[in-house]
Amino acid sequence: MSKFGEIIKQRRLELGGRENSLRRVAEEVSLEPSYLSKIERGLAAPPGEEAIQRIAKRLGLDPDIALAAAGKISSDLHQAITERPEIFGSFLRSVMEQPDAELLKIIERMKQLEEENEKFVDQLDTDSRPKKS
């Protein structure tokens, strides 16, 4: 069984009930029930990104975690890395060995900087507007 298959089967069973039967979930995410069954049992490769994201949303899973379990990354991350490989490669290699707590601090600081930048830009916009006489 693939890690992706294990995760979605476990989550579907955790949710329980008829509304989370294999057939019902498969239909709601536009997959054949037999294909979803094979994925869950590791007999078929995980589907493409869009289908994985539909499954993740339906089962209340983080799409990035579901994609990673399938050995994939989201297309927006792939695009960012391929457009700026040197920067992202260097950045990822520099943080790979950091403990989760440190990475969370980095993420929080980046969010703070983004907010500060937005406020600064808003202030510039306000300052550059013509004054009413």
pLDDT 10s digits, 53-100: 999 999 999 999 999 999 999 999 999 999 999 999 999 999 999 999
| Residues in contact with 24: Cβ distance below 8 Å, sequence separation at least 6, in sequence order | 18
Q: What is the mean pLDDT of the chain?
A: 93
Give the model's pLDDT for residue 127: 75
Look at the block and give the residue holding tokens 């297309």. 75
Which residue, 53, 55, 59, 92, is CA-closest to 73? 53
- As a whole number of angstroms, the distance between CA 22 and CA 133 comes to 68
Give the model's pLDDT for residue 126: 80
| Residues in contact with 55: Cβ distance below 8 Å, sequence separation at least 6, in sequence order | 8, 25, 29, 31, 47, 61, 66
